[in-house]
Structure 1
Amino acid sequence: MKHYAKPKPELWQGRVSKAQLYLHEKVVCTELGATALSKPGKKIGLLGYSCDEGVERNYGRIGALDGPDTIRKQLARLPNHLANNVHLYDLGNIQCMDGAMETAQNQLSEKVAQLLEQQLFPIVLGGGHDMAYGHYHGLKRFYGGGATIGIINFDAHFDLRNNTNGNTSGTPFYQIAQECKKANSPFHYLCLGIRQDANDALLFQTAADFGVTFIENIHFSMSEAQHIVRVLLDFIRKVDHVYMTIDLDGFSSAYAPGVSAPSPMGFSPKIVIESLELILKSKKLVALDIAEMNPKYDMDHQTAKLAASLVHYVMHSL
């Protein structure tokens, strides 16, 4: 398949224990549809979205197409606390070829739906945030129009830019919102960490027009944890399923320098972990992705380690 690359076992290296004490010893590299995926038990599928075409169209710093494999390298070295009946699979990467971002998004949609059909929990590694459009539609393919899917986005940006002049990494949730409006279905979208210095007045107005719930970054901290909990619980209560997307550029560049749009004014990992704990306890989380990992600008693999630790936390809390 032109827009698909098989998993690379050589990425999964680390300390050797011979007792599956580390994730590189636990993971199985295989392709979607393989008989290995039919094992009973809980199953987690890692799928990469190797694309930064949307970032380039949005005038961001390119380099995120190498994000998925970079995250894998750091994840490989982390300890494995998964039970024996929990299976971890690396399923390779969706690739954007010749600038065909929309084709890559469609391929991602198909593969996410296939993962769910094979009873795997999808964790998509990016890659530009345009992957959210494909990821969401994969969920819609599987759950159908009758289920409500709530999107929780940890991000500095709404990504609600008008797509009149084309789709970018800044338009995915605008596209989804427009499609929901056309279908007369609810658009459930919660943004955590929104910054005024990262969104213009029109974007705030667009968010208001679409009924988006958000917490600005100045309030997204441990000092306001009770308010954040109330907002999260109220949002989760209204939906059947939760799709969670974490844009690494929402974090302060002190934690995540290797992103497409860095800023020192972002949020901290602590408040994100506290939020994740609550979301996971709801038992409504059905998919996760990590966006905007850009190894070209990372320092000492700091951002990749953060991304890997977030994935590690979620997969061990499912």
Structure 2
Amino acid sequence: MSNYKLPRKDNWIGRSSDQQLYLNEKIILSSIKSPFQSNQNKTIALLGYSSDEGVRRNHGRVGSSLGPDAIRKQLGKMPNHLDNNTQLIDFGNLECNDEDLESLQSDLSVAVKFFLDNNAIPIILGGSHDLAYGHYNGLSQYLPEGKTIGIINFDAHFDLRPNINGNTSGTPFYQIATEHEAKNESIKYMALGIRKDANTKDLFEFAETHHANYLEQKYFCMTYLEHVELRLMQFIEDVDYLYTTIDLDGFSSAYAPGVSASSPMGFSPDIVLKSLKLILESGKLLGLDVVELNPNYDVDDQTAKLAASLVHYVIHKV
């Protein structure tokens, strides 16, 4: 296992009550190295991917290794509306040792399958977007034979760059696509919020030739809500399970200044929440992550609060 750090209680701060009114009072701390069995109706497993090695390799601005704990510190302050039969467990962080990103991705796969084998829903806190490769593999290893999993990526970028010089935060879906191609399968991939000013033409060509679904940012907004929902429903109907990944750099910097690659031209939280509602109502969600929070560039914890609010929404609706 990579450099694994146990969860820390001081990441879960906030108001106190005698009724578990806040998530810092609801949270349970545990270890991925300990036997674990969910005895509740619902268990949500939080794990941090505390690495920015993929961003560094991709020539981005580093700092996303600090993201998981920054999300926890905002999430703990938020109100708890979970019922008594729902467990919320923090399993700490996986960290990158000696720039060995590939081992970290492999360890994440093992952890994700561990959660699913124990009837827990994995929510991974990032960390650079290379975690998607490890997360997806863990979900895939859990799938029953013959079942399909679709990827829904909220992002400004396709992250379909070739990994000729090693895995980076820009390569995870290329890796997944080429591995499916080797098995004569097509990747089930939908990217929402893609920007032409953030992706080269060869990435669009790769997406087209591999039959990837995508919506450009100019159409991923409330003005086109009906169209967004129709495209999403069509994609969801075509798969058995869903893996959802939210890259915070897809949001406009008006909402998310603290990311690895910020831009004022991104999407807004309202269209993401509408989309998440459809995903959660489908009952097909198998795992979710929130990535690319970079506290070094955040303003008044605005991006950390956005990330925490998204997680808060999901854990109460899943």
2:286 matched residue in structure 1: 286
Give the secondary structure class of the aligned counterpart of 1:114: helix
Q: CA deviation at 1:38?
A: 3.2
2:100 matched residue in structure 1: 100
Mapping of residues 270-285 of structure 1, within 5 Å: 270-285=270-285
Q: CA deviation at 1:37?
A: 4.0
1:163 matched residue in structure 2: 163
2:199 matched residue in structure 1: 199
Distance 1:20 1:106 in 2: 36
Moved more, 287-296 or 34-43: 34-43
Give the secondary structure class of the aligned counterpart of 1:38: coil
Give the secondary structure class of the aligned counterpart of 2:20: coil
User: Does the 8 Å CA contact 2:150/2:242 hold for their aligned counterparts?
Assistant: yes
Show structure 1 runs of 5+ residues with no match: none
Distance 1:97 1:37 in 2: 29
Distance 1:315 1:276 in 2: 11
User: Does the 8 Å CA contact 2:2/2:96 hold for their aligned counterparts?
Assistant: no
Q: CA deviation at 1:35?
A: 5.4
Distance 2:146 2:99 in 1: 34
Distance 1:141 1:5 in 2: 24
User: Does the 8 Å CA contact 1:3/1:107 hold for their aligned counterparts?
Assistant: no
2:231 matched residue in structure 1: 231
Letter in structure 1 aligned against 2:175? Q
Distance 1:213 1:253 in 2: 25
Q: Given the alignment of the two structures, is residue 126 of structure 1 paired with residue 126 of structure 2, yes or no? A: yes
1:54 matched residue in structure 2: 54
TM-score, reference length from structure 1: 0.98
Q: Given the alignment of the two structures, is residue 73 of structure 1 paired with residue 73 of structure 2, yes or no? A: yes
Give the secondary structure class of the aligned counterpart of 1:286: strand
User: Does the 8 Å CA contact 1:51/1:127 hold for their aligned counterparts?
Assistant: yes
Q: Given the alignment of the two structures, is residue 269 of structure 1 paired with residue 264 of structure 2, yes or no? A: no
Q: How high is the sequence identity, in percent, across the aligned residues?
A: 56
Moved more, 123-132 or 1-10: 1-10
Distance 2:38 2:216 in 1: 43
Give the secondary structure class of the aligned counterpart of 2:218: helix
Distance 1:166 1:93 in 2: 23
Distance 1:267 1:287 in 2: 22
User: Does the 8 Å CA contact 2:256/2:303 hold for their aligned counterparts?
Assistant: yes
Q: CA deviation at 1:19?
A: 0.9
Mapping of residues 129-168 of structure 1, within 5 Å: 129-168=129-168
Over 3 Å counting, the alpha-carbon distance change for 1:36 and 1:177 in structure 2 is closer
